[in-house]
Structure 1
Amino acid sequence: MKTPDYYLPIMPYLVIKDTARFITFLKNVFNATEQYAGKRDDGTVMHAEFSIGKAVVMFTEATDTYPPFPAGMFVMVESADDLYAKGLAHGGTSLQEPGDREYGRSAGFADPFGNQWWVTQRRLS
Structure 2
Amino acid sequence: MKPPFNTYKPDGFHTVNAYLFVSEPQKLIDFLQKAFYAEEQNRSIDEETGDIGNVILKIGDSCFMISQARGEFENMRTAFYLYVKDVDTIYQNALKYGATSVFEPADMDYEDRQGGITDPVGNYWWISKRLVEKGYKD
Fold-level similarity (TM above 0.5): yes
Deviation at 1:120, TM superposition (A): 0.5
Question: Which of 26, 29, 35 is matched with 1:29 structurally?
Answer: 35
Structure 2 CA distance for aligned equivalents of residues 117 and 87 of structure 1: 10
SS at match of 1:57: strand
CA contact under 8 A between 1:3 and 1:9: conserved in structure 2?
Answer: no
Aligned equivalent of 1:109: 117
Aligned equivalent of 1:81: 88
Q: Within 5 Å, which residues of 2 pair with 1:54-65?
A: 54-65=61-72
Deviation at 1:65, TM superposition (A): 2.8
Aligned equivalent of 2:44: 38
User: Which runs of 5 or more structure 1 residues have no equivalent in the other structure?
Assistant: none
Q: Which runs of 4+ in 1 moved over 6 A?
A: none
- Does 2:9 correspond to 1:4? yes
Question: Which structure dedicates a bigger proportion of its chain to strand?
Answer: 1
User: Which runs of 5 or more structure 2 residues have no equivalent in the other structure?
Assistant: 134-138
Larger Rg over CA atoms: 2
Q: TM-score, normalised by structure 2?
A: 0.84
Aligned equivalent of 2:21: 15
Aligned length: 125
Amino acid at match of 2:15: P
Structure 2 CA distance for aligned equivalents of residues 123 and 72 of structure 1: 21
1:40-90 Cα deviation digits (max 9, x unpaired): 122211111100011012111111332210110001001111111111111
Deviates more, 1:69-78 or 1:5-14: 5-14
Amino acid at match of 1:119: I
Q: TM-score, normalised by structure 1?
A: 0.92
Give me the identity figure in percent. 26
Amino acid at match of 1:66: F
1:4-43 Cα deviation digits (max 9, x unpaired): 1411111111111111111111110111111111111222
